[in-house]
Amino acid sequence: MRDPFWHSTRILLERKRALMLAALGALLSAACFGAGLGMLLPTFELLLNQQVALGEFIRENVVDSGLPSFVRDAGAWLADRVPTDPFYAFVMVMVIVTVLSVIGSTGRYLHTMVTLTIVHRAARVWRARLFRRLLHAPLVQVLRTGTADHIGRVAIDVRVLSAGYQAIMGKAVANILNGVAALIGAIILDWQLTALALIGAPLIGVLLRKFGKRIRRASKRALHHRGRMIGALNESLGGLRVVKVHDAEGYERRRFNKINRKQFDEEMKMRRAKALAGPLVETLAQIGVMIVAAVAAWLIFRGDRDPSSFMTVLTMIAAAAVSLKPLTGLHTTVQEARAAATRVYEVLDLDVEPTGIDAPHTAPYLPRHSTSVAFEGLGFTYKDANEPALVEVSLDVPFGQTVAIVGTNGSGKTTLMSTLPRLITPTHGRVLIDGMDIAQVDLRSLRRQMAVVTQQSVLFEGTIAQNIAYGRRHTSRDRIVEAAKSAHAHKFVEALPEKYDTMLGEDGAGLSGGQMQRLCIARAILRDPAILVLDEATSQIDADSEAEINAALRELRAGRTTFVIAHRLSTVVDADLIVVMDAGRIIDQGTHDDLLKRCDVYRTLAQTQLRPPAA
């Protein structure tokens, strides 16, 4: 099974030139770091043996060594130009170290700037991909996981993933290269001593792997609870008016604290692995350095080894250990990013409706509806549900009729209507429009001739005009105004200071429920749909507004088929056909008077749920 994090890093390869530039900066920094450490050897020689001639020292240790030819040539050139006085030679060495430090810092700056650019771009692309997939995924699959969890994946998981990118490309890369440069220098000076220092490296790798598994599992659970926390915040703060009126602050506080506690527990499960990994690795590294130091001291005191050479090797090994120390944090960050990448790919693995801009339009185009809408033997069961939502539902509606669908909560009304624009794909059966199976037609051609107004008023950030023209952004202002007039919204819009250019607050704040609903109906009218679905669309409108809207809807029935899920008796009575549903089945259909005589379920609904308009 592919590793989700490392598989996701392919997005970084899309910026090959930038990666090469970042790598150049990191290599330049590492080369200067290694060269600076290499200058320690002549420095120690000058300090410990003041009679040494730096030029002769360079010839003995560089020109006459087995180093590459370009290094020996550079050494020969330098040996002829160094001062003979030890003090001035020492000053020259310090100047060289300073120059190397400046060049290395420039390389680090270049590496950091380019790396951050690549990482931020990758995060932007991931967020766009996730949002696009969520928009084009089937509605049932999106709702199954929950919108709050998906918001967490876009907002939080991508940030964790980008932190992993930053870890493997940022300071970690520079530190690793510095450590490798120091180790190479130590190997060149004394490979036996360096090999002794590396004996514990496999053990460190095993420990990091063990800690990483614990961190990855706990991190995935913590990310899930963060998504739940976002959901709790959206519900509590979004419905703050209801919370306060119902004196439910204590309940919401306890609910949030419960989720917050679960996230805390998962983060606490990571603490031991994260806290223990760093000190344990550092202790093992220090033990290794101490062992090497003891061996070096024995060789110096008991043998004839050059102290300056051993001191340089020890310094390089210590510098390598310090540079590689961030590997522990790198491993931890990568494990957290791996958990985030897993959740990101779960979204990208969702199915896609054939409505995206990249989807091939090979299905036949559905002409504008003009004959009938038929449901043939529909059946549907939600995932993890014990009972089916639809059971052998069959209904034939001639063009131009208004059909009211009634039933108790959970009877299948909304599920049935969701099959019409293919928001839900039935398990079996089919929906026909003018004799064409909608499962076989171009999805855009199907939805473009439909309009849906739901019980919950959905308004977006923007002006009133933009909300009415939602999905039809190039519509003229005259058509927008006409749609508002048809929905009886023009009067209150004109009374606003900015009229149709009034910016709406969050969720339409500043407007009444009836006003928001009339804007949603105006949006539906502007689409000029052949099929209109009103899902309890007049539930938030007062009696006067409802009468006006029903009058407008009666005028709109000519040339379109209307389905109404209603709780208002006036809407039901006004329909051409009333369909009664119970437990996912159509149990009867007919006119209001006929159903009152023969259908017990409808009679009960009429007496208890089909309430008259509010006064």
125's tokens = 């692309």
Separation CA 598–CA 589 (nearest Å): 10
Give the tens place of pLDDT for each residue, 326-376: 666 676 777 788 888 888 888 888 887 765 444 456 778 889 998 999 999
Cα separation values, 31 from 36, 165, 324, Å: 8, 23, 16
- Closest to 259 measured CA to CA, from 218, 217, 225, 220: 225
Q: Which residues of the chain are modeled with pLDDT < 50?
A: 1, 246, 356-359, 613-615
Can you give the pLDDT at residue 396?
93
How many CB atoms are located within 10 Å of the residue 298 CB?
11
- Claim: this prediction has a pTM higher than 0.85: no
Can you give the pLDDT at residue 615?
44
Can you give the pLDDT at residue 67?
61
Separation CA 558–CA 355 (nearest Å): 29
Can you give the pLDDT at residue 259?
75
Separation CA 364–CA 174 (nearest Å): 57
Can you give the pLDDT at residue 575?
83
Can you give the pLDDT at residue 257?
75
Cα separation values, 163 from 108, 152, 269, 335, 343, Å: 19, 16, 21, 11, 15
In the block, residue with structure tokens 């099959």: 419
Separation CA 540–CA 516 (nearest Å): 9
Can you give the pLDDT at residue 457?
74
Can you give the pLDDT at residue 22?
83
Residue pair 613/570 in contact (Cβ under 8 Å)? The answer is yes
Can you give the pLDDT at residue 296?
63
N-terminal to C-terminal alpha carbon distance within the chain: 64
Can you give the pLDDT at residue 92?
72
Domains of the chain as residue ranges with CATH: 4-348 (1.20.1560.10), 400-414+449-608 (3.40.50.300)
Task: State how far Cα 153 lies from the chain centre.
Answer: 4
CA angle, 472 then 475 then 479, to 5°: 120
Separation CA 275–CA 263 (nearest Å): 18
Separation CA 252–CA 237 (nearest Å): 10
